[in-house]
Structure 1
Amino acid sequence: MESVTDTFESTLDDARESLTAARARYQALEQTETVPHSIVDALSSFERELEELDDRLDVHGKDVEIAERVSGRIEALSGVLSALTEHQKTVIESDVRRLEKEWELVDSVEDGPSTAAIEQNYAILTKLVETGRHERIASSERIDIDELEAELMAMRHETRARHLDGEYATVLVEHTEELLPEIHEFLSALGDENDDRTSFADGLKLVKQRVEQAKSRDEGAVDDASVAFEGALMLHYTTARSYASHALASALASTIRDTDLSIQANIDECVARGDSSRLLEEIGEALTGEAAQSTAGRVKRLLAEHDGSVMRTAAATEFDIDDLLDHITTLYDDGTITDITIHFEQ
């Protein structure tokens, strides 16, 4: 039979392994996804809790219970960050998919040097998605999906002036209709209590009306087709994000139930509304607990979590750089921080 000490050590080992996995997920999300401040705090708080448990010399049954509770909360944290990672993946894949339809439209009627750079960047995006490197897309300084969409929109407007209205309207309608099934899929996944389901359904109806008008007449068809395509792009963008938020709420609900976290919100109602923000907020409060901590101590732990980087800490928390520098000065004056390194931009 395993001794109390062996059980305690085994529990701590499992907790450290889960915390390492959680930290790796956070590092991938840090610059690409808004992670709630309480979740960032939990990473450093758990490290401190494990260190305090590890320092115990005489281990008793109650210590094992404490270690198991900490391990369970760390498992919940890892589940939250995993859900946020999947949310990021869903959003990015929908953005690249929409960009694909925009690129196909332009490529079908345009050819030349003006499209070469866009084609190259689109190929890079596709490759990153295929190889599962979604965080590289979100944090890339070279490729920005919003900028690519703006370039493609400008090219669509230029293209319209160089092609016969009837021919261009036909192409626009074809690409609009290729987006509609995906929009339907996003909408059908939303709960009945999700307000987006009704509001987006109304917008979808208007897009379909414009498509039918474009098909039924020659004069003015390109106007209807253009409005329909732009409307479909907008709906694809918004419904994909609503779907991603709904999926995130569902994943967070599973994490709460699997790890027995205690929260105040009605979990089923949050899932039905796709209210992932409320669940994230309450999970953060449950993970960090109600133990008070000094601002200076919190700043110290957050700086340690971000390798001493003021810029990364400011980006990940509610502190601005001036506030952080004030706290760092205090920590330096009282001897908590022994040295400060400054990096100049090359």
Structure 2
Amino acid sequence: MSHSDAGNEEADIWDAFEEAVACADEQLKQAWKNHEIVQQTEEPLSEEYISALTEIEETTQSFDSVYEVTETELERANHTADNATFLASVTQAYREYHEGVIERRVSIRREWFDALVACIEDADADVAADQSSLRRKMQALERLTSAGKYGQLLDSDRIELADIERKVREFDQAVRDAVSPEVYIAVGLELAESFQEQYTDDLAGLVQVGVNKDAISITERVSDVPDLEPVRTRPKEDSTTLDDVEAVGGVIETYADIVVLTGKRREKYELGEKLITTIEDSNLSVGADVEKDLRPRLTSFQLGPIENSVERLIENETMTSDTEQLLQVLAKHDGSVRRTAQSLDRPTEKLFDDLQDLFLQDKIVDLEVRLE
């Protein structure tokens, strides 16, 4: 090999190394950002994610002290970039799940609030509740969600989604007290119908992609809901009652919760799809057949095994390079090449090549031959 060829080869390996390190840094930053947002929700990620991200961060920092890039260092950099990309994809999937749930919660409360405001305007009534303050908070919520600033929303002390949801329910009660039964019922029936259409569409969408109906049934949630048909079809000459108002109001509250629930289920299904796709794209072994063992879980809406598979990858395989894994398995089997090959399901001749490389790199200090 000429000096020119050697120089070009050295430059190529440096370029590949720097590209892998840059990719790892970029993906790690995105993963940390996603993780920070998810941790502020009601369903934070497990400690394994913090450990994995911290480990990758320490590894990327160690690359700053690399002054001679060997094939082993390049392998380590590529593996770190793969790990960072995997974690960025997984945390992004969880982030999008939570953002979708938040959007649904905001849109439902906004629709509910707007219907109540229309009710007041139709009746030209005064309401004791602070309508202007609630309106400002609703507008602030919408601005944050439309701008994608979910982290700012979750971190805000002034705007809490759960508090706004509670205030909308209180506002509903104040409107019931302020307007005539006829006005409230007219607006309330339309709102209840809209909510019902939305959760029906959610369920139909899930069934359409193959989810078992029984796995997402809401029969128990709607079984105690009053039948509004008598109220809806009552002749105009018959006066409505406060009982009718309470029935309509109760249905609105229940349907609002159900729409959030079914919206959450749709987002959860999408999360499962994204996690499975991430596993497939990573070419990592999860100890299960994705198509036979994991994907069917989506149809029965059992997402726990899918999420557990991802966590196992994060905790074990994805954080260990091929070289590190080989050394660990060798140590486990007291240096036995035969048992190591069986454990890794790797051809013995391929393992000998790897061992020779490790020996030349001083990763293995000695080799012993045992005759039987």
TM-score strictly above 0.5: yes
Is the radius of gyration larger for structure 1 or structure 2? 2
The answer for the alignment partner of 1:71 in structure 2 is: 81
- Residue 174 in 1 paired to residue 201 in 2? no
Cα distance in structure 2, aligned partners of 1:238 and 1:88:
13
Corresponding residue number in structure 2 for 1:299: none
CA distance in 2, matches of 1:117, 1:20: 37
Deviations 1:48-68 (A, max 9, x none): 233445545554434433432
User: Structure 1, residues 99-144: CA drift from partner, whole Å, max 9, x if none?
Assistant: 1122113212335672111011111111112212122222211111
Given candidates 223, 227, 230, the residue that maps to 2:250 is: 227
- Corresponding residue of 1:106: 116
Q: Distance in 2 between matches of 1:193 and 1:68?
A: 41
Please name the residue that 1:287 is paired with: 314
- 1:15 aligned onto 2:24: yes
Q: Which residue in 1 is equivalent to 2:295?
A: 268
**Seq. identity, %:** 20
- The answer as to 2:227 corresponding to 1:210 is yes
Shift of 1:93: 0.5
The answer to whether the 8 Å contact 2:24/2:84 transfers is: yes
Which runs of structure 2 are paired with 1:241-256 in the superposition (5 Å)? Answer: 241-256=264-279
Alignment of 1:255-334 (within 5 A): 255-264=278-287, 266-289=293-316
- The amino acid of 1:121's aligned partner reads K
Any idea what the Cα deviations from partners look like across 1:14-67, whole Å, max 9, x if unmatched?
222211222232233343351221112111011223344554555443443343
Structure 2's unaligned 5+ residue stretches are 1-7, 121-125, 235-239, 320-372
Contact 1:172 1:226 in 2 (8 A): yes
State the superposition RMSD in angstroms.
Answer: 2.8
Report what 1:159 is aligned to. 175
Could you give the per-residue CA deviations for residues 213-264 of structure 1, whole angstroms, max 9, x where no partner exists? 3212345432432232122112012112222211111111111111123224
Which runs of no fewer than 5 residues in structure 1 stay unpaired?
A: 293-346
1:41 aligned to 2:51? yes
SS of the residue aligned with 1:31? coil
Greater RCO, 1 or 2 (C-alpha within 8 Å, sep 6+):
1
Q: Offset of 1:290 from its aligned partner?
A: 6.6
- Quick one: which amino acid aligns to residue 47 of structure 1? E
Report the Cα distance in structure 2 between the residues aligned to 1:181 and 1:283, rounded to whole angstroms.
35
Aligned length, in residue pairs: 290
Gap change, CA 1:237 and 1:36, over 3 Å in 2: same
SS at match of 1:189: helix
Listed one character per residue, the Cα deviations across residues 282-310 of structure 1 (whole Å, up to 9, x for unaligned) are 32221232799xxxxxxxxxxxxxxxxxx
Given that residues 252 and 280 in structure 1 are in contact (C-alpha distance below 8 angstroms), is that contact kept between their aligned partners in structure 2?
yes
Instruction: Check whether the contact 1:214–1:224 (CA below 8 A) recurs between aligned residues.
Output: no
Query: Residues 131 and 52 from structure 1, CA distance in 2 versus in 1: closer, same or farther, beyond 3 angstroms?
Result: closer
Question: 1:4·1:59 contact (CA, 8 Å) conserved in 2?
Answer: yes
- Give the aligned partner of residue 122 of structure 1: 138
* Normalised TM-score (structure 2): 0.69
**Counterpart Cα distance in 1 of 2:69 and 2:262:** 53
TM-score (structure 1 length as normaliser): 0.74
Change (3 A) 1:194 1:73: farther
Asked if 1 retains the 8 angstrom alpha-carbon contact of 2:284 and 2:318, the reply is: no
Match of 1:309 in 2: none
Give the match's secondary structure for 1:210.
coil
- Decide which moves more: 120-129 or 146-155: 146-155
